[in-house]
Structure 1
């Protein structure tokens, strides 16, 4: 029997709950009566509740995020019906900004807002000693980083073999981009480098090879970034793979030199461009040198084998279809492997909420609180861009249509792909559950019938991509064409990234 269960619902099994491991690492003597149990949002609330209650806990701590708040609400309701005496404590970003709180907070006994490593321990100590805390809303107390116990030893063999190991060399962010909760941070604070690298070495020796850094600004302190990259270069093998979130306009020569030494497909950079529009950047307090961003993205593509996952956000205050098209076209010209088209979401506590009235920002009332319309973007156009984003992920980001994509985009990428997106939706009625072979055939029909691409040219590029995808059978337009088996390139990158080679 464990007195305390720490749990959450991850988006997918491959994700590991880094925050829970930090909470567990800092429970001191309470660790002996605590267990971490992770689930996914795809499991039923009844099955999850059964597994939690099998531990016979007195306290259940649950991490709540924008991607799992609906499922957590259902789970908490079930737990309280079955075991009303169970003490449920919520924490995480989705419940950390009172009075703007989701309904699940009314079902819980306590809510810890903000940092939880110390506050959750203090709360559990009181509860297990049969003391009643004065407030059910508990403000989290931040602990100086050197005083935090490390979570990395709590990645077990299953995590290391089958999950992503999340790590952080620094915490916080010095920038104030209003769409992001990190805008509430005062600055970025680094962990002591020597101790951090010792922890990374321990993980590596245990077999960890997939490291995802959650630092908001990995390349903020170049000396530290170079030291971390050198550490992994010295341990480079056929399986090592690193993911970093980087600032797009900060790529000095020292950093460039070490990046050039990495083998292809061992680095993934998540690069938040968000918008190239200077007026919107100023409006949302985003400091970004657009010219340096362009130069750095171009340099990374030309001189490194890093996989570039770039981000744009649609629906920001002041956004229109026209200025978003300009940002998209500029980014396409820089040729990153992926462009993630994010739709603005209302994050609780984010400073961008101050623009809601002036720009008539209208959000979905249910998670993930995506924007529905603005002063300058109609609901109809927002729906079109939502579909655009989904089809772009299937066609542009997947790498399946690498040969075909330039023909689709031509010299007006946003305009032509929006036309393709509209026509695909009219033909299929869906952006989901389209078989890949059927998608190739639909794209052919739209290229020829709507984009007016030459039929033979369309067949040629689509056939080459179809063969690269190693799909079986023939496409409807090539029943008499001979097939020659082709394979995608080799490399450590995952299958999606190999398609971009």
Structure 2
């Protein structure tokens, strides 16, 4: 669920709030695009395969890169995604190709890297368009014989990565493949969605990646490691998580130094730098959420040091790339104080939790530091649904936060989750009433979605407790659909809510909000339309 609304958030930021790198013309091209050259005698080759939403930088990949570069491992990092991105768009713009066709004859989407194009990367004919370039990388890897290859998985690139590894293994059977990334946060999800690995790092890489790679380059094949799933594990092995990494300030912040920073901008010169001021979620109780991990934070000085580094390259727009930006209320305040003290001219965007401590003065301080756009995961818009979802705040706080944020000069966006177990028709009416009452303070409804039953969420783990029922055996459904259960295959009781009911309520809310003058964003509209089509 968070990932869906996160994409909506980035889409709106992209459309409205980017700084552009100073330039004389809008288009970035022509530029000299780096060649992809795999070095000889490598211990480890770390790859970011397409696609990843642009212009967001590969934050997780950069942390792994930093961990390995001083570890005695001869490592090379290649962001294939950024190179493919610029190859594609430079050819399209410079050659004035308004229409590009896949080998199958199907018309290519306008921008393969737009976050609304995720489904395209799961189609073979779409991947076929890029496959000759992928085959060249495979050829080089086979020739240069690195001991191991690492791949970052992010949902978008899962199918392409699978084809890549299968083809590579056909020609280099002894090469070791290590997978990690967003798809690999749970031991019961990662190995199901991507099976073409030798080792898979589950969760954060810091506790395990150095020792794992060092063992592999010694020609060892370790097994049963905490925080790692492997093809070499004992048949009866039960997964054990690695110790939690807590000292975030000890990590070098990402600099993406494998290419000049200049390349991390879009074809129309927009940039977005992810900042991870914290990890995990201090609340971790929202029942639909699958990202409930222990909260840890960086110091204000450490965070602002990273921002100041990027301003030296005329890059000033930062996205707080984390689940709980105000998980430590005072720490965020102090980050803003440090920005103000250094007189940095930055533009900041992020997602905040509703919190009664978010006063008008608090928002004014955030705005002074550079916050221009804040999104609130309100999710439940009635007193009852806030309790059902275990949000931990009241409608009174929702009113106070949205008004104070908007009045402080910050673009204020929200979302809504529809169809949670126990929701009633009265809740729908109350939700419409509250959103309508707040329309002067809601600049945009960025995401509207029916409940996604995500693996790892409280609703999924304890489904019986919430009277959630499945149309097939739950264990079988999870094997077939490891990330989330399709909407048509589950329902809840007391009252009865299936996807037909959820879509009816979604339609009712959309129509009434539109009629009442509540602004609904383009991404939210696309999500709603997609849900309607699936239900019809």
TM over 0.5: same fold? yes
| Count of aligned pairs between the two proteins | 400
Matches of 1:305 and 1:285 in 2, distance apart? 30
Give the secondary-structure state (helix, strand or coil) at the position aligned to 1:242. strand
Matches of 2:205 and 2:504 in 1, distance apart? 40
Matches of 2:505 and 2:157 in 1, distance apart? 24
Give the secondary-structure state (helix, strand or coil) at the position aligned to 1:62. strand
Indicate which of 306, 309, 326 corresponds to 1:219.
326
1:306 alignment partner in structure 2? 410
2:16 alignment partner in structure 1? none
CA contact (8 A) 2:301 2:338 kept: no
Matches of 2:176 and 2:311 in 1, distance apart? 38
Matched, 1:287 2:399: no
CA contact (8 A) 1:178 1:351 kept: yes
Indicate which of 491, 498, 512 corresponds to 1:378.
498
CA contact (8 A) 1:275 1:324 kept: no
2:173 alignment partner in structure 1? 84
Structure 1 residues 317 and 65: alpha-carbon distance in aligned structure 2, compared to 1, 3 A threshold: farther
Structure 1 residues 361 and 125: alpha-carbon distance in aligned structure 2, compared to 1, 3 A threshold: same
1:44 alignment partner in structure 2? 127
Give the drift of 1:261: 4.0
Matched, 1:94 2:183: yes
Give the drift of 1:124: 1.0
Matches of 1:360 and 1:213 in 2, distance apart? 37
Matched, 1:316 2:420: yes
1:255 alignment partner in structure 2? 362
Give the drift of 1:25: 0.9
Matches of 1:64 and 1:319 in 2, distance apart? 35
Give the drift of 1:269: 0.6
Give the secondary-structure state (helix, strand or coil) at the position aligned to 1:34. strand
Matches of 1:66 and 1:361 in 2, distance apart? 25
Instruction: Please identify the structure whose Cα radius of gyration is greater.
Output: 1
2:379 alignment partner in structure 1? 274
Matches of 2:499 and 2:375 in 1, distance apart? 29
Query: TM-score under structure 1 normalisation?
Result: 0.69
CA contact (8 A) 1:73 1:104 kept: no
Structure 1 residues 297 and 124: alpha-carbon distance in aligned structure 2, compared to 1, 3 A threshold: same
Structure 1 residues 23 and 86: alpha-carbon distance in aligned structure 2, compared to 1, 3 A threshold: same
User: Structure 2: where are the runs of 5+ without partners?
Assistant: 1-38, 82-112, 231-240, 472-476, 520-524
Matched, 1:242 2:365: no
CA contact (8 A) 1:7 1:60 kept: no
Give the drift of 1:246: 0.7
Indicate which of 166, 176, 179 corresponds to 2:274.
166
CA contact (8 A) 1:26 1:118 kept: no
Indicate which of 9, 12, 20 corresponds to 2:53.
12
CA contact (8 A) 2:421 2:497 kept: no
Matched, 1:129 2:170: no
Matches of 2:172 and 2:429 in 1, distance apart? 53
Matches of 2:432 and 2:72 in 1, distance apart? 51
Indicate which of 338, 362, 365 corresponds to 2:444.
338
Report which structure shows greater RCO (CA 8 Å, sep ≥6): 2
Give the secondary-structure state (helix, strand or coil) at the position aligned to 2:452. coil
For 1:188-203, what aligned pairs fall within 5 Å after superposition? Answer: 188-203=295-310
1:26 alignment partner in structure 2? 67
Matches of 1:324 and 1:30 in 2, distance apart? 59
Structure 1 residues 29 and 374: alpha-carbon distance in aligned structure 2, compared to 1, 3 A threshold: same
Structure 1 residues 361 and 68: alpha-carbon distance in aligned structure 2, compared to 1, 3 A threshold: farther
**CA-atom RMSD, angstroms?**
3.7
Structure 1 residues 222 and 85: alpha-carbon distance in aligned structure 2, compared to 1, 3 A threshold: same
Structure 1 residues 204 and 369: alpha-carbon distance in aligned structure 2, compared to 1, 3 A threshold: farther
For 1:386-405, what aligned pairs fall within 5 Å after superposition? Answer: none
2:203 alignment partner in structure 1? 114
Query: TM-score under structure 2 normalisation?
Result: 0.65
Matched, 1:145 2:247: yes
